[in-house]
Amino acid sequence: MAARPRGKADLGAFRLEEAPIPEIEAGEMLLRTLWLSLDPYMRGRMSDAPSYAAPVQIGAVMTGGTVARVERSRNDAYQVGDLVVAMSGWQEYAVSYGSDVVKLPAGLPRPSYALGVMGMPGVTAYIGLLDVGQPRAGETVVAAAATGAVGSVVGQIAKIQGCRVIGIAGSAEKCAWAVGQLGFDACVDHHGAALTESLAAVCPAGIDVYFENVGGKVFDAVLPLLNVHARIPVCGLISLYGEAGKPAGDSAQAFMRTVLVKRLAVRGFIVSDSYAARSAQILRQIGTWLQQGRINYREDIVRGLENAPRAFLGLLEGRNFGKLVVEVSGAQP
């Protein structure tokens, strides 16, 4: 990261640097990045505003989850050729102590799935929808960013629970895919006019669970349609991530009035709070659903680490279509 963006991030926030491949010492291993995950939370790490994790320092390697191969090892727990999931960031090689990686889950259709449906985003969708959202069969669930890494899994798990599932996405093509390939009951393009009215038309019984990872105008459109006792798992607010000032819209007090009148349950959650304790079991369940064809998954693959900044900026504007991953040296044997 070359500079801390104020407001909307641009390419000037990043710099490509070359350095020698590091030597390893006893207990360490050298990782070669095969796949890099690009996720909205990274915009938060670029800011030094108070948050739940420390910011990336200027001049430091951008943070990020990876699938990597052990190239050299002086660590007894890992052999050359092992594939691991690491938080080794936007770089081709990294040194690991072993304790900061996990082996890839078994039975992955592709290694990069460990960065999406079979990794942090999949577990995020599962915990946020089921623990926080607590959907019951027959209820209406709305998933924003419906074709994204998290939203697509939220919607499909909600279908498995017997819910009516409505997506919100950023193009007619994405909406068609959410309905045709993910099995959503309907999907509304948020670029269209009268978003509340469009949503109301496909949510005749109101909204019982709104899985929030967008914020802004989508939140505003959903709010009037929430039913009494509706639940809002707050996973992310991508529409706000580029905003420097105070966002506009309704006041917090007006929102609290709605919370009271409708007895809403609003809960923010971060998957890392419970990832260690629960991910293994949840990934087994998601893996089963994938094998059974009950969860469909789409990746948006960018080739070459040098293209990560542009792809990441596109992610913040919804230009990706599916889980965004960078093939750093994924084609290598």
Q: Which stretch binds its own copies (CB under 8 A): 46-54, 118-126, 196-204, 308-316?
A: 46-54
Measured CA distances, 318 to 11, 105, 160, 186, 269 (Å): 17, 29, 26, 19, 22
Which is nearer to its own copies, 131 or 317 (by Cβ)?
Answer: 131
Number of residues that bind its own copies (CB under 8 A): 38
Measured CA distances, 68 to 78, 247, 256, 306 (Å): 12, 39, 45, 17
Q: Which stretch binds its own copies (CB under 8 A): 6-14, 48-56, 58-66, 149-157?
A: 48-56
Q: Which residues contact 207 (CB under 8 A, 6 or more apart)?
A: 140, 141, 142, 166, 199, 222, 225, 226, 227, 230
**N residues, the chain:** 333
**Binder of its own copies out of 268, 275, 296, 305 (CB under 8 A):** 268
Query: Is residue 180 at the binding interface for its own copies, with CB under 8 A as the rule?
Result: no
**CA 156 remoteness from chain centre:** 15
Which is nearer to its own copies, 255 or 321 (by Cβ)?
Answer: 255
Query: Is residue 99 at the binding interface for its own copies, with CB under 8 A as the rule?
Result: no
- In the complex, what is the shortest distance from the CB of residue 231 to its own copies, in angstroms, rounded to a whole number? 9
Name residues contacting its own copies, limited to 217-256 (CB under 8 A): 219, 228, 234-237, 240, 246-256
**Binder of its own copies out of 261, 276, 277, 331 (CB under 8 A):** 261
Query: Is residue 263 at the binding interface for its own copies, with CB under 8 A as the rule?
Result: yes
- Could you write out the three-class secondary structure of 101-144? EEECCCCCCCHHHHHCCCCHHHHHHHHHHHHHHCCCCCCEEEEE
Amino acid code (one letter) for 242: G
Which is nearer to its own copies, 106 or 248 (by Cβ)?
Answer: 248
Which residues of the chain form contacts with its own copies (CB under 8 A)? 50-52, 212, 215-216, 219, 228, 234-237, 240, 246-257, 259-270, 273
